[in-house]
Amino acid sequence: MRVRFIEPRPPGHHVYDRALLPRLGCPLMATMLRERGHDAYCYCDVLASVDVDDCLRADLVGISATTSTQPYAYRLADELETAGVPVVLGGPHVTFMADEGLEHASYVVRGEGEHTICQLVQAVDREESPANIAGLSWRDTDRRAHHNPPRGPCSQQQFQALPIPDLSLIHGHERMTTKPLMTQWGCPYDCEFCAVTAMFSRSVRYRRTDQILTELAGLDAERVFFHDDLFVVNKNRTRDLLRQMLARDLTPQWLAQVRAAETVLLSKASRQPDLELLRLMRDAGCWMVMVGFESISDDALKQMNKKQTVRDIVDAVDLFHRYGIKVHGMFVIGTDTDTAEQADHTVQFAKRVAIDTIQLMIETPLPGTRLYRRAQAEGRIITTDWALYDGHHAVMRPARMHPLDLQRAMLDAMRRFYSQPNIAIPAARTLLRHAPSFARIALRNHVPAQLPTLAALALRHRWHDLLDTLTTGLPKTDRRVIEDALAVPVLRAYGREQITEWQSQDHTRTHLDLLATLP
């Protein structure tokens, strides 16, 4: 069978616009189908445009979306189904909104879909009924909806038997500068606002260290993003992986999502730092951690069921920085304990503890979460325009402020963090501190000849292009010195650009107008 997979582009501007990084579900399923003799291929819209004509020639098209990308997924599904191409939808949104999904597609995969999709393709290929495929919702020829029994999460044995996703099956894969790799599924925690546990369960399934090392070697990447919901869950396993990476000289620069205290401390009771793990992370190439700090209010953290304190945040930032690891802090505002001042307090806190970059998101009730069910029950949901459910828009009435005040507070706070002084001062300090190293690198690599080009890019505020131009062709060691030194000011400059562009887009302005009409 000819099967195509699509991962739609997020709507408008968002914090990860320049992250040319696909999720791994589509290439994994395509790899599994290839192994079974099918013609499978993927389109990730952030890497390269979807070839709709190619999809129209397919026997089945799978579209994997999140809540904010679901409207685009529905439009694609409508176009393909109208042309007679059956579509199967998957991902966290339709897992919990299957009836809605069936208004646009013949099939919906609920939950983990890797084995479900293989059984569905076999059934379609053999013209058999899908009635016995667990985890599948489908429409019959009379357009009646059927919801088969759920499929449980895959076992540890099944997870380890999954193949390495073939990234070359993604159209435009050569554009990836950072490559994704997943070492485990699931999260043992249960935050109120997060759909991960509902989608993948709280049962964490691990790949063997040798499997991860084989995939890492095959990626041949200078930078890797570990796509795990949490990279550090079982510390013994993490230490073993990092030691083996060092032993085999598989140490690209890498990024990962981690928790705060659970990563940097041996135990919360003793507050003793886990210096061995921090050293291993640094030596094995950890460049930046992305930490869900969520709030600087202990009351808010308790309401979220985060099992974390503000002290944990402060200690984590300090310890990561001691080992040269940059910190991207992810915060949520608009919780039931927050006032309009919370966003500004969060930025002041982030500056005080020297968090390198931040992501200030508005609490968003995603379908499948306890927060969504509570917001529905309390009548607080403002809109079900799913494209706005990206964390950048107020879609739920906060308890202690008007939603427009929340929206404006988020924007104002982000502008303050990504202000010109907060970009220029770190840049100046970096240039002064690294001036001798920069001079040596520049002279031995003929960088002065590039100064007119670099100046032109700077004048046009094209900071990422400037860094790419500066480092292209440099030896790996020199390139890493420059990238590491200039990363924070460049990322902050990028953040400032994104805020400006985000405010100017039509659907954001329309949403601000809507919020202004609310009582």
Give 483's pLDDT tier (boundaries 50, 70, 90).
confident
pLDDT of residue 226: 97
Place of tokens 């909104």: 97
Q: Which residues share a beta bridge with 147?
A: 137
Q: What is the mean pLDDT of residues 213-230?
A: 94
| CB-based contacts of 431-435 (< 8 A; 24+ apart in sequence) | 433/485, 434/481, 434/485
Query: What are the pLDDT digits (tens) for 306-354?
Result: 889 999 999 999 999 999 999 999 999 999 999 999 999 999 999 999 9
**Amino acid code (one letter) for 426:** P
Distance, CA of 15 to CA of 89 (rounded, Å): 25
Give 203's pLDDT tier (boundaries 50, 70, 90).
confident
Whole-number percent of the chain with pLDDT over 90? 73
Helix-strand-coil percent breakdown of the chain, rounded to 5? 50, 15, 35
**Tokens for 325?**
């690891």
Distance, CA of 465 to CA of 493 (rounded, Å): 12
Residue of 420, 422, 421, 441 whose CA lies nearest to 484: 441
150 in Cβ contact with 110 (< 8 Å): yes
Considering the chain, what is the average pLDDT of its residues?
Answer: 91
Give 436's pLDDT tier (boundaries 50, 70, 90).
confident
| CB-based contacts of 306-310 (< 8 A; 24+ apart in sequence) | 306/189, 306/191, 307/189, 308/259, 308/260, 308/261, 309/261
Distance, CA of 279 to CA of 283 (rounded, Å): 6
Least confident of 68-82, 212-226, 349-363, 490-504: 490-504
Using CB atoms within 10 A of its CB, is residue 469 exposed (0-12), middle (13-18) or buried (19+)? middle
Query: What are the pLDDT digits (tens) for 129-149?
Result: 999 999 999 999 888 999 999
What pTM value is reported for the model? 0.91
Query: What are the pLDDT digits (tens) for 253-275?
Result: 999 999 999 999 999 889 999 99
pLDDT of residue 475: 79
Residue of 383, 77, 454, 334 whose CA lies nearest to 90: 77
Instruction: Using the predicted structure, report yes or no on whether residue 13 has a pLDDT greater than 70.
Output: no
pLDDT of residue 18: 64
Residue of 387, 380, 349 whose CA lies nearest to 365: 380
pLDDT of residue 320: 97
Using CB atoms within 10 A of its CB, is residue 143 exposed (0-12), middle (13-18) or buried (19+)? exposed
Q: Which DSSP category does 23 fall into?
A: -
Instruction: Using the predicted structure, report yes or no on whether residue 451 has a pLDDT greater than 70.
Output: no
205 in Cβ contact with 159 (< 8 Å): yes
**Amino acid code (one letter) for 511:** H
For residues 456 and 263, which has the higher predicted lDDT (pLDDT)?
Answer: 263
Instruction: Using the predicted structure, report yes or no on whether residue 14 has a pLDDT greater than 70.
Output: no
Give 491's pLDDT tier (boundaries 50, 70, 90).
confident
Residues in the chain, total = 519
Question: What CATH fold (topology level) applies to the domain 2-147?
Answer: Rossmann fold (3.40.50)
Distance, CA of 186 to CA of 176 (rounded, Å): 25
Question: What CATH fold (topology level) applies to the domain 177-417?
Answer: pyruvate-formate lyase- activating enzyme (3.80.30)
